[in-house]
Amino acid sequence: MYKWYKIVSMDIERIAEEFKNKNIVLVGLGLQGGAVGVAKFLSRFVSLCTVTDLRKETELRPSIDALQYFKNIQFELGEHRPSTFLSADCIVIGPSVRLDMPQLVSAREKGIPIVSEMELFFKYNSRPVIGVTGTRGKTTTTTLIYEMLKMDKRNVLLGGNIPGSSTLSLLEKECDLVLLELSSWQLSGLHRIGISPHIAVFTNFFPDHLNFYSSMDDYLFDKQAIYTFQNDKDHLVVNKSLQKIIEKNMPRSRVHYFTQNTYTKKIALLGDHNRENVSAAFTVGEILGVSPQALSVLSTFKGVSFRLENIETINGVDIYNDTTSTTPIAGIRALEAIHDRYKRIILITGGNSKGLPVEEWLGTVQSFATRVVCMEGTFTDSILPRLDKSKLLALIPMSNLKSILSLAMKYSQPGDAILFSPSATSFAMFKNEFDRGEQFNKIVEEYSKQYDK
């Protein structure tokens, strides 16, 4: 116990010394809780923390309320004032803030340090880290590993790209291992400090975020930070589908490839993609030498909210909420996962585009979906001319989830599945995909109560 107390104390002392009495700017408040955690943590050491976000106060109210009692935190909302950036001692950026933003370019030219939360955490953390990334499967794989390690009585802390989590605050908590889900944006900062996790898990790689990255190569470069700086005492757990990419890079760490068949026992989760997620977690368990009892969690795990989650059965119709499906490949995996179980699938899809290829998605919808309800948006605009019109039930505004569900139920019958898998974003109507999923759940709950009556 003393060993970890000593390390935790040293970690805090080092970061406290760096930020003592500084004037910092935090760029991007958001609503997922990460920036709130950064502001709370650093406000103890700094003289002033200015939080700036292009969104207005009404849009950010929950996050603002969470920081209202911190006297040295102030807000500049609806704009990014150049003078605020140029007067800072240090700028801390949120996960999706672009480094080529003019205010940041000017600050960098002036020599003002620009860092991310993940850079700060890895710079000052002294505990072994397991990092999980990939285009799909990050959250499920991370949760599988977490449940497995808890069953094995490991003192593990969870953070990273988890809604509501504060990674910096983990610096002051005792543990044996830190487990982080890491997005490409969070990983980008590791290139700047030359650090990778002790155990890196790379679930898969598909086209995504091309509305942010200029190319797939740029997107891959950020992902590769999870293993680029490992040494021969570290481990890389990676999908065998990425073998050519890995061999081209020749990482120094010990490489462990997995496939959907690496874990051979029956699992509760649907789909080959989830067999891959379980196999990745199983490989981590073998590296860490967890007990057979702990490994058994992988067979019984029933999934994470909003990821192909069976939320309700109404009149014999199973309803799945897959709101975290924000890309065509995610929609493909959802349809593939359930099509063997159901003869008829009514798909609810659509929203705003990320500019990703849709050919394979269209083919999968044609093969597996019986009928389709489309929500308005730029993604929907791109698929409508190519969608089999005999499958299309209606084009409905995203905000009208009640009509969307009612129509899907009207065309369903006992033994069918209704799959809410948008395959696109919807920020015009919802705060994010989680807000979209929560609202869909509420509509389903209300519909279920009416039906029971």
- Cβ neighbours of residue 385 under 8 Å, at least 6 residues apart? none
% of the chain beyond a pLDDT of 90: 84
- pLDDT-derived band at 5 (thresholds 50, 70, 90) equals very low
Residue 326 makes CB contacts below 8 A (sequence gap 6+) with 354, 422, 423, 424, 425, 433
Q: Please say if the pLDDT value at position 3 is more than 60.
A: no
Tokens in use for 305? 């909210």
Q: Does domain 309-452 have CATH number 3.90.190.20?
A: yes
CA distance 411 to 406: 9
Contacts of 299 (CB under 8 A, 6+ apart): 265, 266, 267, 268
| Amino acid of residue 146 | Y
Report the CATH architecture of 21-112: 3-Layer(aba) Sandwich (3.40)
Given strand 129-133, what is the order of strands in its sheet?
Answer: 156-160, 177-181, 129-133, 199-202, 235-239, 254-258
Cα separation, 140 vs 305, in Å, equals 9
- As a 3-state breakdown, the chain gives helix, strand, coil percent values, each rounded to 5, of 40, 20, 40
Residue 113: in which H helix or E strand, if any? none
Amino acid at 261: N
Task: Tell me the mean pLDDT in the region 128-144.
Answer: 97
Task: Return left, alpha or beta for 134; rule: phi > 0 is left, psi -120 to 50 is alpha, else beta.
Answer: left
185-231 residue pLDDT tens = 999 999 999 999 999 999 999 988 888 888 999 999 999 999 999 99
Q: How far apart are CA 365 and CA 423, in angstroms?
A: 11
Please report which confidence band the pLDDT of residue 2 belongs to, taking 50, 70 and 90 as the band edges: very low
Query: pTM (2 decimals)?
Result: 0.89
Question: According to the model, what pLDDT value does residue 96 have?
Answer: 79
Task: List, for residues 313-328, the tens digit of each pLDDT value.
Answer: 999 999 999 999 999 9
Over the stretch 243-290, which tens digit does the pLDDT of each residue have?
999 999 999 999 999 999 999 999 999 999 999 999 999 999 999 999
Residue 177 in contact with residue 153, Cβ under 8 Å?
Answer: no
The DSSP element (H or E) to which 50 belongs, if any, is: strand 48-53
pLDDT at 95 over 90: no
Q: Is 152 exposed, middle or buried (0-12, 13-18, 19+ CB in 10 A)?
A: middle
Place of tokens 């680029």: 228
Domain boundaries, the chain: 21-112, 120-300, 309-452
**pLDDT above 70: percentage of residues in the chain:** 97
Q: Is the pLDDT of residue 135 over 60?
A: yes
From 103, 100, 98, 102, select the one nearest 87 (Cα to Cα). Answer: 103
Q: At 10, is the pLDDT very low, low, confident or very high (cuts 50, 70, 90)?
A: confident
Mean pLDDT for the chain overall: 93
Contact status, residue 199 vs residue 285, Cβ threshold 8 Å: no
Is the Cα torsion angle 18, 24, 25, 28 positive or negative in sign?
A: positive
Please name the helix (run of DSSP H) or strand (run of DSSP E) that holds residue 129, with its range, or none: strand 129-133
Select from 431, 326, 352 the least CA-distant residue to 33. 431
Q: How distant is the alpha carbon of residue 155 from its chain centre?
A: 23
Average pLDDT value for residue range 79-106: 94
Q: Residue 9 — very low, low, confident or very high, per pLDDT cuts 50/70/90? A: low
The span from the CA of 222 to the CA of 135, in Å, is 12
Query: What is the DSSP code string of 231-290?
Result: -TTSEEEEEGGGHHHHHHH--SSEEEEE-TTSS-S--SS-SHHHHHHHHHHHHHHHHHT-
Encoded amino acid at 75, one letter = F
Residue 164 pLDDT greater than 80, yes or no:
no
Matching fold, domains 120-300 and 309-452 = no
Give the CATH number of domain 120-300; options: 1.10.760.10, 3.40.1190.10, 3.40.50.10330, 3.40.50.970: 3.40.1190.10
The dihedral over CA atoms of 218, 220, 225, 231, expressed in degrees to the nearest 10, equals -130
